[in-house]
Amino acid sequence: MTNSQTTNTSTLGGPLLEPTPKSSDPARLAGDIVDRLTYRLGKDATVATQDDWLTAVILVVRDRVVTKWMESTRDTYRREGKRVYYLSLEFLIGRLMRDAMTNLGLVDEMQEALGELGVDLDLIRQLEPDAALGNGGLGRLAACFMESMASVDIPAYGYGIRYQNGMFRQEISDGWQVELPETWLEHGNPWEFERRESAYDIGFGGSIEIGEDDACTWTPSERFIAEAFDTPIVGWQAKRVNTLRLWRAEPVDPILLGKFNAGDHIGALHDSNKAEALSRVLYPADETEAGQELRLRQEYFFSSASLQDILRRHMSQFGRITSLPDKAAIQLNDTHPAVSVAELMRLLIDDYNVDFDLAWDMTKRTFAYTNHTLLPEALESWPIPLFERLLPRHMQLIYKINARVLMEARATGTFEDEQISAMSLIDENGSRRVRMGNLAFVGAHSINGVSGLHTDLMKQTVFRDLHQLYPLRINNKTNGVTPRRWLMQINPDLYDLAREVAGDGIMSDLDGLLALNDVADDAGVQERFTAIKHQNKVALSNLVQDRMGIAIDPSMMFDIQIKRIHEYKRQLLNIVETVALYHQIRSHPERAWAPRVKVFAGKAAASYHNAKLIIKLAGDVAKIINADPATRDVLKVAFLPNYNVSLAEVMVPAADLSEQISTAGMEASGTGNMKFGLNGALTIGTLDGANVEMREHLGAENIVIFGMTADEVAAKRAGGYNPEEVIAGSPELAQALSAIENGIFSPQDPFRYRDLIGGIRMSDWFMLAADFDSYSAAQRDVDRIWHDKPRWAGMAIRNTARMGYFSSDRTIRQYAREIWNVLP
Ligand SMILES: *Cc1c(COP(=O)(O)O)cnc(C)c1O
């Protein structure tokens, strides 16, 4: 497997004999494509498969990228400026071909070139594998940031793991989620360059020897090689091309020949298999019991490789280790790379002979950390015995760092013992564990949240005491999305309309969209906007028809909830409301119901029982409702399998209504909410995450807000919330819950949902019942707006117009100015 990929890549990437084409002339492009087909793939145009054409086109695009890439690299060296390093265990990049072609300005020319060759660009585009090296929002943010850093001209490197199997492929079998491996590298990966020369030793286990003058020598008992694979990331108008460097683990000895020759053919491959496991799979984010040891090994593997690479680059250009904080800003995307704090200390002290005090100062000046969640089960910590066994030297350094931090805290004389123990890097409650969030906090000069609300809550909850000790460190950087992918590429007609009104500059400055605001009530613009939306809905209904065999009338309201399936995101609230609506339509068929289709998509972590049950429930409810002739014209439900970036690209432009209904205080930011708003969907949502700021930018009259605030949720939880009482007071909710609980939607297995609904009656941690009436009333408000077509269109256009703030270019400029101290 590994070998065949290696061969593939190097065949595709052969660096010699390559002419350096720069022209975007269609005839030249066509010639180059045939050339790649012939000389790289060894295929004649008459026998080439669609996959061959795709590879040939990508190679032609890639050649044009490479020229710019080298210019960018040379420019960075020449300027002797600071580089940004974005460390993330996840990059949810999706397909790259259209992205690269758009940013190079090659789309029309390529279309024409392929037309001459009789190849359909849209068709081969669909064959490109969707690179899903991430679980959800956190990984997609990393991908948007990579594109934005290149677009605003910041020299940056992304560092992560080249998972052989990324996020699983979801199939729905008899309504249940089934997880299958995603084999995105099956046909090779024409985007990447294998860098055999950039390889580093990564050690685990072993022992430490303390020599004279306290110098430490760590002798690991296990060693692996981290090998680099580079993917170029093109910014808007190809101003800059940055590098995404992903690591693959290799054994030091691919085969233990001694063992092999002695007849132990399996044992001979032991190291090889162990290495392969390191970069094999992406762990599901929401898993509570991950394969603990392998996960920690992955985190250290990619942190160590990346830091060694950063230090090597720094020394080769600047020759002096102490200038590192002036020349490198390292951003930790959540706590997954937090072990980097200890690893940089180790490298500085043990390999570069820097003393502890200076090393600690340099470390803090180099690192910044982004927090992504307040959910207690997602705050990483490692059992001390495990940590000590795998990383003995790092354990020792963490104790030393901890002693220093706690001394600083005690020296202030303002903290109680309880607060000191909350600040400690070691959790002493129960079995002792290393707290990675606290390690990242103390080792960084900046700790940021990803929306205003999340940042405030961070100060009050997880980092309350550390915030009191270091009050200047926490800051906010509200998330964003790249408008090139999430508007221009996925909704070209809306982009054209926006450009006609707002001018050509909108992709470099999304605030320019505000010009649309002045024409939002113009009948001609509304008609055009509505026609574009309709066409996008036709495209989605064709997809639903093809994949699910469900017919959807594109004139219905497309009400869409797509995101990871999680109880806090409350897909269940949406489903229960759907059932209540179904009952209401049946009881009052004479009312003017707004015809809707509720569309769901999302993956559940493989071990998350309730999330998987919610998927099954969506399917069960869909089956009954879609078959009922009494409601058929006004209500439809569909669950689309295998949610990923490519599916989002079809669903987002087709949405009329975006569901952002998490329990307030639990969604750190959300970015799905931003994609929908930008594409002219109205949002129904709670005051959670970035929804709060969306309301500020859109105006309260252009978003439908319901439910409790974060403060109200906290107060209710503290004050003894009784869900049964709430249910008793809401006949519609009571009826919907009873129907689900009593097996109306699962007649073959009537008890299927008893525990799921029982959980709401018993404790209802996610406050579904408490928010139900408010949600249901808000949905009826949405119905009323839907019937007033000009009002709906005006609101939708104002959504697109006022979403400029949520461009990831704005987010990245803020990181650059306020955290990294680099000038775009
Ligand atoms: C944007 C995006 C997400 C994040 O969605 P939220 O609604 O913010 O949770 C997750 N997965 C994919 C594929 C995305 O494109």
671 is catalytic: yes
Above 80 in pLDDT, residue 23?
no
- Considering the domain boundaries, does residue 309 fall inside one? yes
Pairing mode of beta strands 216-219, 207-210:
antiparallel
Average pLDDT over residues 134-150: 97
What percentage of the chain has pLDDT greater than the value 70? Answer: 96
What per-residue confidence (pLDDT) applies to 13?
42
CB contact at 8 A, 272 and 251: yes
CB-based contact 147:156 (threshold 8 Å): no
Sheet holding 381-383, edge to edge: 381-383, 433-435, 426-427
563 lines ligand 1 (CB under 6 A): yes
Domain contains 622: yes
Same domain flag for 593 and 660 = yes
* pLDDT level of residue 259 (50, 70, 90 thresholds): confident
583 and 460: one domain?
Answer: no
pLDDT in tens, 398-447: 999 999 999 999 999 999 999 999 999 999 998 999 999 999 999 999 99
| Average confidence (pLDDT) over 793-797 | 98
Distance of CA 737 to the CA centre of its chain: 33
Beta-carbon contacts of residue 230 (< 8 Å; ≥ 6 apart): 192, 193, 195, 243, 244, 245, 246
What's the number of domains the chain is made of? Answer: 2
266-325 pLDDT, tens per residue? 888 888 888 888 999 898 665 555 578 999 999 999 999 999 999 999 999 999 999 999
Q: Does some domain include residue 8?
A: no
Q: Based on the fold, state whether residues 146 and 235 are members of the same structural domain.
A: yes
In the predicted model, is pLDDT for residue 576 greater than 80? yes
Q: Two tokens at 344?
A: 């940089």
Could you tell me if residue 74 is inside a domain?
no
- Both 475 and 574 in one domain: the answer is no
Quick one: 190 and 280 in the same domain? yes
DSSP string, 527-552: HHHHHHHHHHHHHHHHHHHHHH----
AA identity, residue 99: D
Query: Amino acid identity, residue 593?
Result: W
Distance of alpha carbon 97 from alpha carbon 99, whole angstroms? 5
d(CA 777, CA 768): 14
The DSSP line for 652-671 is: GGG-SEEEE-PPTTS-S--S
Residue 525 within any structural domain of the chain:
no
Tell me the Cα Rg of the chain.
27
Interval between CA 477 and ligand 1 midpoint (Å): 18
Catalytic, out of 671, 683, 686, 811: 671
Structure-token pair, residue 124: 């081969």
Do residues 542 and 475 share a domain? Answer: no
Ligand 1 close to Cβ of residue 698 (< 6 A): no
Pocket test for ligand 1, best of 562, 603, 644, 652 (most atoms within 8 A of CB): 562
Report which of 749, 731, 751, 733 is spatially closest to residue 741, judged by C-alpha positions. Answer: 751
DSSP SS3 for 265: coil
Give yes or no: 372 in active site: yes
pLDDT tens readout for residues 68-94? 999 999 999 999 999 999 999 999 999
On whether residue 163 sits in a domain, the answer given is yes
pLDDT recorded at residue 205: 97
747 with 606, same domain: the answer is yes
**CA–centroid distance for 163 within its chain:** 15
Q: Where are the alpha helices (DSSP H) in 413-450?
A: 417-423, 436-442
For ligand 1, the distance from its centroid to the CA atom of residue 592, given in whole angstroms, is: 34
The H or E element that residue 151 is part of is helix 137-151
Residue 324 lies in a domain: yes
Strand partners, 219: 207
CATH number at residue 146: 3.40.50.2000
Query: Does one domain contain both 549 and 469?
Result: no
Task: Quote the DSSP letter at residue 818.
Answer: I
Instruction: State the pTM of this model.
Output: 0.96
Token pair recorded at residue 341? 């704090």
> Does 570 sit in the ligand 1 pocket, CB within 6 Å?
no
* Residue nearest atom 9 of ligand 1, based on CA coordinates: 563
CA angle centred on 160, ends 154 and 165, rounded to 5°? 135
pLDDT in tens, 390-406: 999 999 999 999 999 99
What is the pLDDT at residue 288? 54
Residue 31 has pLDDT above 70, yes or no: yes
Average pLDDT over all residues of the chain: 94
Are 443 and 398 a contacting pair, CB within 8 Å? no
3-state helix, strand, coil in the chain (%, to 5): 55, 15, 30
Range of the domain at 286: 80-95+130-479+813-820
Query: Could you tell me the distance, in angstroms and rounded to a whole number, from the CA of residue 671 to the centre of ligand 1?
Result: 6
Strands 635-640 and 657-660, sheet pairing: unpaired
- Does 136 contact ligand 1 (Cβ within 6 A)? yes
Partners of residue 86 on adjacent β-strands: 158, 331
- 8 A C-beta contact, residue 250 and residue 3: no
Same domain, 187 and 334: yes
Token pair recorded at residue 659:
């569901």
Q: Say whether both 322 and 186 belong to one domain.
A: yes
Helix extents (H) in 428-509:
436-442, 452-460, 464-469, 483, 492-502
10 Å CB burial of residue 463 (0-12, 13-18, 19+) is: buried
Instruction: Give 333: exposed, middle or buried? Use CB within 10 Å, 0-12, 13-18, 19+.
Output: buried
Task: Reply yes or no on whether the pLDDT at 11 is more than 90.
Answer: no
Give the residue whose CA is nearest to atom 1 of ligand 1: 672
CA distance 135 to 140: 8
- For residues 475 and 549, state if they share a domain: no
The answer to whether residue 207 scores a pLDDT higher than 90 is yes
Is there a contact between 796 and 676 (Cβ–Cβ < 8 Å)? Answer: no
Active site residue 636: no
801 in a structural domain: yes
